[in-house]
Amino acid sequence: MQPAPIAILGATGFIGRHLAARLQAKGIPVTGISRSPKADVAGISRWQTPDTLDLAHHQAVVNLSGERVDCRWTPAQKIILERSRIEVTERLVGHLRSLDPASRPAVLLNGSGIGYYGDGGDTPLDESAPAGTDFLAKLCVDWEDAALEATTFDTRVVLLRTGVVLGKGGAAFDKLRKLFALGLGGNLGSGRQWMPWIHLDDEISAIVHAIETPILHGPLNLAAPQPERNADFTRKLAAALHRPAFFHAPSFALKLALGEFANALLTGQRAVPAALTTSGLTFRHPTLDSALADLLG
């Protein structure tokens, strides 16, 4: 018998499309939910739009919707960033609530970010660490709260606090690779801030692991066990590309160019994936050297 389908909101995105392909390879039908379904996404059995949502008889829902945060956060852009996460999640949870309990998906995996913790300094941060107070942290808190509403009707909710996902085709990695390949790489600010990163393969494995592990609920840090300081990340990426990395983007210049978003680059989180490792996930790329060798080798 075919397993029940899994639905992905944001299935056209970087993480969503790779998750769809992995689930399809496991023989699981995938329902893609998109404002503009794209036929070129491999692994999608059928499409729905947010207006035609019907998630009855799905085993799980993964919500990866959200406007990209790597932009200047004008007041208008902040509203777009909030609505694309909080309102989308509220509508999704409202739909789940409306379903007959017998046909309702058992688990909601909802996007979030390691930015939840704000500026963590040098303190190792597991899932019990408190939330930060900056814009990104508050956005994650509100996004998570919207998803946690589904626990009121006994749906298991997992919050995917994701670090910077390193994978080909991902905006962050592609930008960094191009910049460093041109010899234009360098430290951001002091370079002492921690960068929680995760290889795309491990990101997808972690999401599948969370779907398949019923004891997991609440926040999960999706970040490699060995985060790097920005300066070490810079040195290792430059070495892997055999390029120098002499440039240095001073804090004031980043703030001038990027506004408030610069703070997200100049501060960081020494996140540790405590819940994933204690629940048995083995990282394929626990170190940056291994991830870069795979991505650039």
Ligand X SMILES: NC(=O)c1ccc[n+]([C@@H]2O[C@H](COP(=O)([O-])OP(=O)(O)OC[C@H]3O[C@@H](n4cnc5c(N)ncnc54)[C@H](OP(=O)(O)O)[C@@H]3O)[C@@H](O)[C@H]2O)c1
CB atoms within 10 A of CB 148: 19
Residue selected from 28, 31, 34, 211 as contacting ligand X according to rule CB under 6 A: 34
What gap in Å lies between CA 157 and CA 288, rounded to an integer? 30
Under the binding rule (CB under 6 A), the answer on residue 186 touching ligand X is no
Under the binding rule (CB under 6 A), the answer on residue 55 touching ligand X is no
Residue nearest to ligand X (CB): 13
Burial of residue 110, with CB atoms counted within 10 A of its CB: 0-12 exposed, 13-18 middle, 19 or more buried: buried
Under the binding rule (CB under 6 A), the answer on residue 12 touching ligand X is yes
Under the binding rule (CB under 6 A), the answer on residue 210 touching ligand X is no
| Residue numbers 145-164 binding ligand X by CB under 6 A | 162, 164
Instruction: Supply the minimum distance, in Å, between the C-beta of residue 100 and ligand X.
Output: 26
Instruction: Supply the minimum distance, in Å, between the C-beta of residue 213 and ligand X.
Output: 20
Residue selected from 99, 106, 131, 172 as contacting ligand X according to rule CB under 6 A: 172
Under the binding rule (CB under 6 A), the answer on residue 170 touching ligand X is yes
Instruction: Supply the minimum distance, in Å, between the C-beta of residue 222 and ligand X.
Output: 8
Nearer to ligand X, 62 or 249 (CB): 62
Binding marks (x or -) toward ligand X, 83..102, rule CB under 6 A? -x---x--------------
82-89 long-range contacts, CB within 8 A, separation 24+: 82/139, 82/142, 85/111, 85/139, 85/142, 85/143, 85/146, 86/139, 86/142, 86/143, 86/146, 88/9, 88/50, 88/63, 89/63, 89/65, 89/143, 89/146, 89/147
Span between the terminal Cα atoms of the chain, in Å:
40
Residue selected from 5, 43, 105, 113 as contacting ligand X according to rule CB under 6 A: 113
Under the binding rule (CB under 6 A), the answer on residue 13 touching ligand X is yes
Q: Which residues of 70-98 are buried (b: 16+ CB within 10 A; e: fewer)?
A: eeebeeebeeebbebbbebbbebbebbee
The binding site for ligand X (CB under 6 A) comprises 10, 12-16, 34-36, 64-69, 84, 88, 111, 113, 162, 164-165, 170, 172
